[in-house]
Structure formats: structure tokens, C-alpha cells
Amino acid sequence: MCGIAGFFSRQAVAPSAAARMLDALRQRGPDAQHITGWNENFALNATEDTPHHNAMLHARLSIIDPRPISDQPMANDDGSIWICYNGEVYDWAGHAEELRAKGVEFRTRSDTEFVLRAYEAWGMDMLPRLRGMFAIVILDLRANKVVLVRDRMGLKPLLYSQIGDDFAYGSTVRSILPWLPADQRQFDADAIDAYLAHRYIPAPMTVMKSIRRLENAHYLTFDLATRKLAKTCYWQPQASTDDWRTTLDAAVNMRTVADRPLGLFLSSGIDSSLVASRLAATGHSGLQTFTAGFSGSVMDESPLAAEIARTLHFPNRVVPIGNRIADEIDRIVADLDEPFADPSCVPTWYLARETTKHVKVVLGGDGGDELFAGYKRIGKHLGKAWARNFSVGNKLPGNPGNSALTGRGFRKWMDEFNLEWSAAYSLRFSGMTPSQRVLLQPDRRPQRSIYWRMPQPGTKSPMQQLLEIDRLNYLPEYILRKGDLSTMAHGLELRAPLLDHHWVNAVTALPDAKRFAQPAKLLFDEAMPELRDLKLFERKKKGFNPPLTDWLQVDLRDRVDDLGRRLSEVTQGQIDAETADRLVRLYRRGEHHLAEQVLQLLLLEMSLNQLASIAQRP
């Protein structure tokens, strides 16, 4: 688990720019940082202080084979293939033996070297052999190309930029930004509107015009001769005949392999409880578990989580999440890289900060809701599936009245009616409604109703359509981005066994009546008999809800004052100052349902100003 960056340029890049790129990744890889650079003819440069035309940068969090010999960038024996890699590949020993039988000699015990040797032997045919989470960059001097690969579900981020004939990549926007020419460091107005619509910026967009995000299950090839890019989708879920129970246990167990201490994020929810139960059943006794606690809140999951841990004989540590975030909010916004407004990022960040003091790897329960339709919004939207034949298209409102700023009433109904049924699914968990976005951007009318990647046309059922939308958008770019950024901010590796692609394929094969039982995920009851007395399936889903009222009305109150002016300035007038301030006033006068929208605007202003400050550096 690491941070990666690099570039391949016609012109030499100053060592100071490469150093700033690496410095932006340091927290993702606190154990070792390296730069390997080449001149224009790919002759290795003698020192890191030499201007590079081409370079690969790596910041390492050492989990498997922590010896320096496993540091990156890593090369094959003759230096014709180099790898820069972030993630973990599991269950590769059998494939390694296949390579050894062909005479390949391994110098390390690392999965990095396995990926390198696998590519050397099989090229892109290695992909079916990779099981896990990964963002891989390979420099292949034999074929004169660079290949970028992002894992199937999108657990690991991978971004890139092409400016003319020059190309760069990185784990984050901030790791690429120092490489960009000064005249290419503008914000993308469409991306800001996408953020207003979705609370995050969906792939392939980023907040910067010149930086793109590689979509999950895709690889990108940059031809070093022609300087052309080509993108390929290499995977989609396919129903398999694998037994779901056996596949689940395999997915969980292979993710316990580590040379550093291992723990588990445990809430009172079904998904993390399932992972905990299977860990206990397969002999992982004494595993440390970590739970976020919201003392005094009806949403506090820590008492039940502690009971689950006791039942399974796991020690449990509750991490109190307080109401004060003012002292850390600037760091949190920076760690989120670009505008991102899931309020649960904050408790996840605090949970990870404490957890990393005790372990360096944690398992989590991400993925269960997206695979088994566990969100209430899915049932609500399916209840309007009849509207698929009656919606009027994807129209943005013409001139919504000022009352539309509340996001309620007739105007909200019209916003939904104006959208095609699958697009209207976005309103179940959106940031701003279409009417609110139009009012906030009066001089720059939004160009699109939504910015999602949509499923390919076909015969998918309404349920399948919604789950596919989540797989392409909400899961990789919201849920998994939150997990990656919040944990890697503290040098903590998060693993998600419920997103193992073999397990996903096994789940895809289940009959709908079994997969989508009521209550949701009832199938899991078969896999955790030790917890039946706790009646988890009869309990109301609590979520991971932070104290927004205390944040906005007390701790961050001063930051919300005069928010409209600051937003208008940093967006060069795209956000209307008076409209933003009016929304804040509505919230303070009692429209408390606007809390998330106010937080969304505040986080946008803070993130953009941080990025603008970085962009102004030479």
C-alpha cells in the first residue's frame, strides 16, 4: 500500500517539481520514498537532483516483505521493465510457482515483484491472475510504452494528465499538480457542478481541467513513440459457479496475510459483523477491533459493536469522535485531496488516526450494501420504477424560483420528474438538487443533469440497473475513495474482502430471491451463527452519522460566515455569493435539512482555496 506518481516528458522537469510530487505522497507511504529518473533516451540519471525527462516516484507503506530490497520503483533483471505499484495482490503463490517452473527467479517475497514478473512473462494477460486491489504503472521499454491499470472494483485511485506530448500520473490530484505547467492549473467548471450534484467528482473527471481519473476495471496505455493514449475496460462481473460461502472464507483469509499487525474496523452493521464472524470461525482469535463512538448520540454503534466483539472473543477499542473538528479540519480537507463532501469522512479519518497507532492493516465491511441492495434509497426508487415510461427526459429547470433553494416541495418533485428514471436515482443521495444548482450558478447554467457513468443499454431489471450505477459510480468514487483517503492519510492499509472479484462473481450468480431477501442481506445469517442471539437483522440500520449541528452552528460557525464571498472569489464567479449566503441563512433560521448542503459548500471553498494556493507555486 503506497503512493505513486511519475511523468514522461519531452522537456526536462526540475528536480524541485519531482520532489514536491513525492512530498505530496509521503503520508501514504511513510516507510520509504524513492525517485528513479531517466534522461530523454531512458538512460538512468545518476542522482535524484538531476533534471529528469522521465521519472517514477514511490512512497512506500511496507506491509509484505518490508526489507529495502522490496522498495519501488522496481525493475526486472535487465532494467527493461519497471513497476510503480499501490495496493495488495493476494493468493499469487500458485502463479509464482508457474513462473518458477519456467525458470524465473524471485529476489523478494513481495507481491510487487510477482506483478512485475507476471507482466514480464504474460503481458496484459496477467490481469486475470491478479486478485486484490491495485493501481499499477508499468514502464515497458521493450514495447516502448507505459501501462496504467486500476483494480476491478476501484479500491485504489489512479489519476493521469496529458499535456501535448507529455504525460504524468499519480495517486492524487495533489501529487500531479506540481508537474502541470502554470497555464494548465485551472479548475474545471463542469467538475465543480458535478461536485454540487453528487458531493464528489465522478470519474473520469477531477477538479482540475488537465487531470483525469482512470475508471475502475480499466487500463490505459501511453505510447512513448506516438504519445497517444488508449483506454480499455478489462472486466465486468460475471456469474460464476463458485460456492459463495467457500469463496467468502477464501476472500477473508487471504486478506489476513501481512508482515505488520492486523485489525478490523467493526461497527454494529451486518457487513463488518460478517467479516468478524468469518475471521473468528476460521481461527483468527484475538484480532484487535476498532469502533467509532459517538457518545450520547442515538446513532452510537459502539455498545453493540463491543457486544459483537465480546461474543467473538475479539478485543475492542472504541475511538471517541468528539464535536470539535476546527483544529483538524484543514488537515482533513487536505487529506481528502479534492472537493469531497461525505460527512462520514471525518469520523473515518479520526478512527484511522487512532487505529494506525496499534495496527498497520485493517479489514472492513465495504461492499455489502452495493452487492445486496442494502440501502433504503434502492427500495424507495424501485417503488417509482413505473416512472421509467413517463419521465420527460433529462431536463434542467429553466428559472426555478427562490423557494427552490430549500430543496423541498413542488420544485423538488419537478426536479425528479424532469429526469429519466435511472438518472433520478441520483436525487436519493445527491448534494444539491438541479434547481439549487441552477440558482447557485446563475451566470453559468449547468450543462448536465448528472455526471455519472451509466450502464450500457440492455435488458437489465430495474434492480440491476441501480446496482450497476452504484458499481460504476457511488462505490468506487464515493465509498472506496473515502476509505482510501481517510486511512492512507495516516499510513493505514484498508482491505475489503466483500469486494473480492471472485466473491462478487459468486454473488452475481445467486437467485434474486436469495440475494435480495428482506430484510436486506439475510443471506449472511447463514455465515454468522455465533451472532444470532444478538438479532442483528431485526435492528434498525444506523449509518455513520457525525454531529453536523454541533460542527456548523458551534465549532465551524466562524468559517461559515461570509462563505458566499469566498466561494465566488475562488470559483471566479461561478458560485453566486448572495445565493450561497442565502442558503446558509435558511439553514440558520431553521431549515436544518440543509446542513449537508452547507457543509458541502464549506468543504468546496476550503478545498479549492488549498488547491489554488498549491497551483500558485512555481
Q: Give the distance between the most distant pair of CA atoms in the chain.
A: 73
Which domain CATH number covers 308?
3.40.50.620
Mean residue pLDDT across the chain:
93
- Residues whose CB falls within 8 Å of the CB of residue 39, separated by 6 or more in sequence, listed in order: 45, 52, 53, 54
Position 192 pLDDT exceeds 70: yes
In a domain, 173, yes or no: yes
The helix (run of H) or strand (run of E) holding residue 190 is helix 189-198
The predicted pLDDT at position 92 comes to 97
Closest listed residue to residue 487, CA positions, set 243, 133, 75, 249: 133
Distance of alpha carbon 21 from alpha carbon 15, whole angstroms: 10
- Given 510, 538, 566, the domain boundary residue is 538
Distance of alpha carbon 590 from alpha carbon 381, whole angstroms: 28
pLDDT digits (tens, 9 = 90+) for 442-453: 988 787 999 999
pLDDT digits (tens, 9 = 90+) for 504-531: 999 999 999 899 988 889 999 999 999 9
Q: Could you please report the per-residue DSSP string of 443-511?
A: TS--S-S--PPPPPSS---HHHHHHHHIIIIIIIIIIHHHHHHHHHTTT-EEE-GGG-HHHHHHHHTS-
Neighbours of 310 (CB within 10 A): 11
The predicted pLDDT at position 383 comes to 85
The confidence band for 543, taking pLDDT boundaries of 50, 70 and 90, is low
Position 381 pLDDT exceeds 80: yes
Check whether residue 420 and residue 532 sit in a common domain: no
Q: What is the mean pLDDT of residues 461-480?
A: 94
Distance of alpha carbon 512 from alpha carbon 342, whole angstroms: 30
In a domain, 430, yes or no: yes
DSSP-H helix ranges across 489-589? 501-508, 512-515, 548-550, 557-560, 563-570, 577-588
Cell of 157: 485511485
pLDDT digits (tens, 9 = 90+) for 204-222: 999 999 999 999 999 999 9
The confidence band for 399, taking pLDDT boundaries of 50, 70 and 90, is confident
Closest listed residue to residue 150, CA positions, set 140, 158, 138, 141: 158
Cell of 181: 505547467
- The answer to whether 338 touches 607, Cβ cutoff 8 Å, is yes
Please tell me whether the peptide bond between 457 and the residue prior to it is cis, using omega within 30 degrees of 0. no
In a domain, 258, yes or no: yes
- The answer to whether 229 touches 221, Cβ cutoff 8 Å, is yes
The predicted pLDDT at position 431 comes to 87
The predicted pLDDT at position 394 comes to 76
The predicted pLDDT at position 518 comes to 87
Check whether residue 389 and residue 522 sit in a common domain: no
Check whether residue 429 and residue 440 sit in a common domain: yes
The predicted pLDDT at position 95 comes to 97
- How many H helices and E strands in the chain? 24, 17
In a domain, 543, yes or no: no
Q: In total, how many domains does the chain have?
A: 4
The predicted pLDDT at position 549 comes to 85
Q: What is the mean pLDDT of residues 114-121?
A: 98
The predicted pLDDT at position 387 comes to 67
Task: Give the C-alpha distances (Å, rounded to integers) separating 181 from 94, 135, 176, 337, 613.
Answer: 46, 25, 11, 19, 15
Check whether residue 43 and residue 128 sit in a common domain: yes
Which domain CATH number covers 58?
3.60.20.10
Position 159 pLDDT exceeds 70: yes
DSSP single-letter state for residue 182: G
Low-confidence winner among 3-7, 251-255, 542-546 (lowest mean pLDDT): 542-546
Check whether residue 308 and residue 210 sit in a common domain: no
In a domain, 56, yes or no: yes
* 139 DSSP β-pair partners: 82, 146
| Residue 410, SS3 per DSSP | helix
Position 180 pLDDT exceeds 80: yes
The predicted pLDDT at position 391 comes to 58
Position 604 pLDDT exceeds 90: yes
Check whether residue 325 and residue 424 sit in a common domain: no
Q: What is the mean pLDDT of residues 379-392?
A: 74
The predicted pLDDT at position 446 comes to 83
Closest listed residue to residue 189, CA positions, set 607, 578, 576, 575: 575
| Residue 292, SS3 per DSSP | strand
- Residues whose CB falls within 8 Å of the CB of residue 533, separated by 6 or more in sequence, listed in order: 311
Q: What is the model's pTM?
A: 0.96
pLDDT digits (tens, 9 = 90+) for 4-60: 999 999 999 999 999 999 999 999 999 999 999 999 999 999 787 889 999 999 999
Cell of 386: 413505473
The confidence band for 459, taking pLDDT boundaries of 50, 70 and 90, is low
pLDDT digits (tens, 9 = 90+) for 323-336: 889 999 999 999 99
* 166 DSSP β-pair partners: 163
- Given 538, 566, 590, the domain boundary residue is 538
Domain range for 455:
376-461
In a domain, 238, yes or no: no
Please tell me whether the peptide bond between 204 and the residue prior to it is cis, using omega within 30 degrees of 0. yes
Distance of alpha carbon 255 from alpha carbon 436, whole angstroms: 44
pLDDT digits (tens, 9 = 90+) for 569-583: 999 999 999 999 999
In a domain, 239, yes or no: no
Position 545 pLDDT exceeds 90: no
Distance of alpha carbon 298 from alpha carbon 300, whole angstroms: 6
The predicted pLDDT at position 224 comes to 98
Check whether residue 45 and residue 181 sit in a common domain: yes
- Residues whose CB falls within 8 Å of the CB of residue 246, separated by 6 or more in sequence, listed in order: none
Angle between helices 93-101 and 111-122 (to 10 degrees): 50
User: Would strands 316-320 and 361-363 be described as parallel, antiparallel, or unpaired?
Assistant: unpaired
Cell numbers 529495502 correspond to what residue? 68
Distance of alpha carbon 428 from alpha carbon 36, whole angstroms: 47
Check whether residue 454 and residue 472 sit in a common domain: no
Position 397 pLDDT exceeds 90: no
In a domain, 12, yes or no: yes
- Given 538, 558, 578, the domain boundary residue is 538
- The answer to whether 569 touches 580, Cβ cutoff 8 Å, is no
Closest listed residue to residue 219, CA positions, set 207, 240, 206, 235: 235
The predicted pLDDT at position 295 comes to 82
User: Three-state SS across 299-362?
Assistant: CCCHHHHHHHHHHCCCCEEEEECCCCCCCCHHHHHHHCCCCCCCCCHHHHHHHHHHHCCCCCEE
Check whether residue 552 and residue 517 sit in a common domain: no
Check whether residue 489 and residue 341 sit in a common domain: yes
Position 197 pLDDT exceeds 80: yes
The predicted pLDDT at position 544 comes to 63
Distance of alpha carbon 38 from alpha carbon 219, whole angstroms: 24
Check whether residue 9 and residue 21 sit in a common domain: yes
Position 428 pLDDT exceeds 80: yes
User: Three-state SS across 118-149?
Assistant: HHHHHHHHHHHHCEEEEEEEEEECCCCEEEEE
The predicted pLDDT at position 542 comes to 67
Check whether residue 221 and residue 80 sit in a common domain: yes
Q: What is the mean pLDDT of residues 131-153?
A: 98
